[in-house]
Amino acid sequence: MRFHRRIFLACVLALAMSFAFSSRILAAEADPLPSWNSGPAKQAILKFVQKTTDKSSPEFAPPAERIATFDNDGTLWTEHPMYTQLAFALGRIKALAPQHPKWKTTQPFKAVLDNDLEALAAAGEKGLVELVMASHTGMSTAEFEATVTDWFAKARDPRFKRSYTELAYQPMLELLAYLRANGFKTYIVSGGGVEFMRPMTEAAYGIPPEQVVGSTIKTQYEVKDGKPMLMRLPEVDFIDDKTGKPVGINKFIGRRPIAAFGNSAGDREMLEWTGAGSGARLMMLVFHDDAKREYAYGPANGLPDTKFGAFPPSLMDEAKKKGWVVISMKDDWKRVFAFEP
């Protein structure tokens, strides 16, 4: 009886070891990017990570050098029919309007109150700056964070009827997780306001606030009622877009990335700066060509132009010339959002 018991225990142990070994094999073979279709874009990511993390590879990158930067609007989440921060600004202007009766007859505020998108577009960048200064300043950084957090909890996208943070692209969330699992440090480098993004980036993307680089307005230290605070002033401090992106990377990160991801002409310089370094490099652009699941725009592929996330033909030409990988939302992504079936 004891002999049979030993055989039984030995069999159980063997089965357990076999199961554990099989589980490790399955885990190793599990697809880290399940929402990506097989193709050049997915293969470029897998090959890049393999080259930079394999110590026997001539293109091995030490962990300290594994820096990956991501634009936000149009790269990590949707940017149509307008930038999320612009939607926030318009909502703030309407909420504050009773305190500013002159806005009813003064542009660009009148355009906002009248829901006149054509007049708003005609106001251009100068008009948008006016709206941001009026809706984002005159309060402490703590008050602004609370306002932004409350807005994100309540606001819903007009098309998808979901919170804006639910409109993060599932394939990019997998990419962020995959890079971090392989020793990369992931940063957001966006033209959006840094203090607008920071309240949501950790929950939405797993990127902590200290790894968010963005545009800033000037702040001033004050003591009010015995309490120290930082007050937000109606003055632009730094624009983290186009040529500002490499400057922001150098200023706030201090290392040149070895991977950079964008979606528009505003990201061109960030990708150029990243690609100018030595060793293995990965530069990728998200191309919006899926009107059914998200949006389709960009004259680089015969699609309508847009004021948000412009992807001109010159950017497509540069991508082809320099070997940047263009991600087709329609062809390269099995699904766009996590809530898709």
Position 295: which residue type?
Answer: Y
End-to-end CA distance of the chain: 55
pLDDT of residue 12: 47
Residues counted in the chain: 341
Q: E-strand spans in 126-270?
A: 185-193, 212-224, 227-238, 259-262
Distance CA(339)–CA(146), nearest Å, equals 27
**In tens digits, what is the pLDDT along the chain, a chain of 341 residues?**
554 555 555 554 555 444 444 444 344 469 999 999 999 999 999 999 999 999 999 999 999 999 999 999 999 999 998 999 999 999 999 999 999 999 999 999 999 999 998 888 788 778 888 999 999 999 999 999 999 999 999 999 999 999 999 999 999 999 999 999 999 999 999 999 999 999 999 999 999 999 999 999 999 999 999 999 999 999 999 999 999 999 999 999 999 999 999 999 999 999 999 999 999 999 999 999 999 999 999 887 788 888 788 899 999 999 999 999 999 999 999 999 999 98
pLDDT digits (tens, 9 = 90+) for 274-299: 999 999 999 999 999 999 999 999 88
Position 322: which residue type?
Answer: K
Angle value at C-alpha 289, between 339 and 211, nearest 5 degrees: 60
pLDDT digits (tens, 9 = 90+) for 70-108: 999 999 999 998 999 999 999 999 999 999 999 999 999
Q: Which domains does the chain have, with CATH numbers?
A: 32-81+166-332 (3.40.50.1000)
Query: Which tokens is 290 given?
Result: 């899926």
Are the C-beta atoms of 73 and 309 separated by less than 8 Å? yes
Among candidates 75, 46, 73, 69, which has minimal Cα distance to 286? 75
Position 219: which residue type?
Answer: T
